[in-house]
Amino acid sequence: MIQILGAILVTASTTAVGLAAVQRLGARVTLLSGLVHALEYMQTEIYFNLTPLPVILEHLSQTAAAPLKSFFTRSASYMDKLGDCSFSSLWQCAIQECRNDFQGAEAQLLADMGSMLGKYDAEAQCRAIAYARARVEALLENAEKEKARQGKVYGVLGVMCGLVIVIILI
């Protein structure tokens, strides 16, 4: 009886590890996809309405899904410090504080884009956003491929590892 219970526990644990890996892949796809939408929104608002950045960030803080929500909420709240700190330094701070949510590539893209935001005319800023968006779209495509390729592997591997361990131990 104890052996069966132990086998179930071991298999369940390794399956959970496998599923967590699958979930991480899915979360990255969700993050990058949300980022593409957010950048698209920023670009449209700046180009057509010349909307101030704090207003854009405030909107995104309310509409974006986690974990982007926390990034935009931080960025929006920092806008009160404009005048004492520059926009790009406040933007950098928000990226730094959310570094656990971003991988190196998108954090760098956001940082580079932030150095262009708010300083130039709408067209120049839109070009910078469009460039960042294209790069994020490429990251998203890779993440989707990885999810499709590795997702099933991780799931099956989790179950199989559990079964192998159970067979060896029994």
Partner 1 sequence: MEEYMSAIALLPATIRAAAQTLPQRLRGRAEEIRMRVGQPLTVLAENEEHILPADRPFRIQPLDLEQMVEAATRGSVHTALENIRSGFLTVRGGHRIGLCGTAVVKEGEICNLRHLSSLCLRIARQIPGAADDILPRLLDNGRLPNTMIVSPPGLGKTTLLRDMVRQLSDGRDGRSPVRVGLVDERSEIAACYMGQPQLDVGAHTDVLDGCAKAKGMMWLLRGLSPDVLAVDEVTTPEDVASMIQASHCGVRLLCTLHAEVEDDLLRRPLYKSLLPMFQKCVMIEGDRRARVLRILDLSNR
User: Using a CB cutoff of 8 Å and minimum separation of 24, what contacts does 49-58 make?
Assistant: 50/122, 53/79, 53/87, 53/117, 53/118, 54/79, 54/82
- Quote the least distance from Cβ 63 to partner 1, whole Å: 19
Minimum distance between the CB of residue 85 and partner 1, rounded to whole angstroms?
8
In angstroms, give the least distance from the CB of 68 to partner 1.
20
Residue 155 interacting with partner 1 (CB under 8 A): no
Cβ proximity to partner 1, 109 vs 117, nearer residue: 117
> To which residue do tokens 């909107």 refer?
59
79 part of the interface to partner 1, by CB under 8 A: yes
Which of 84, 167 has the CB closer to partner 1? 84
- The phi-psi region of residue 102 (left if phi > 0; otherwise alpha if psi is between -120 and 50; otherwise beta) is beta
x/- string (CB under 8 A) for partner 1, residues 93-122? ------------------------xxxxxx
d(CA 66, CA 57): 14
Q: How far is the CB of 55 from partner 1 (least distance, A)?
A: 8
Among 42, 53, 98, 139, binds partner 1 (CB under 8 A): 53
Does residue 86 belong to the site contacting partner 1 (CB under 8 A)?
yes
Q: Which two tokens stand for residue 160?
A: 């199989």
Query: CA–CA separation, 103 vs 147, rounded Å?
Result: 16
Q: What Å distances lie between residue 117 and 50, 114, 132, 142, CA to CA?
A: 12, 5, 12, 27
Tell me the site size for partner 1, rule CB under 8 A.
Answer: 20
Looking at beta carbons only, is 119 or 145 nearer to partner 1? 119
Cα 15 to the center of its chain, rounded Å? 25
User: Does 52 help bind partner 1 (rule: CB under 8 A)?
Assistant: yes
C-alpha–C-alpha distance, residues 24 and 75, integer Å: 25
**Residues in touch with partner 1 (CB under 8 A):** 46, 50-54, 79, 82-84, 86-87, 90, 117-122, 125
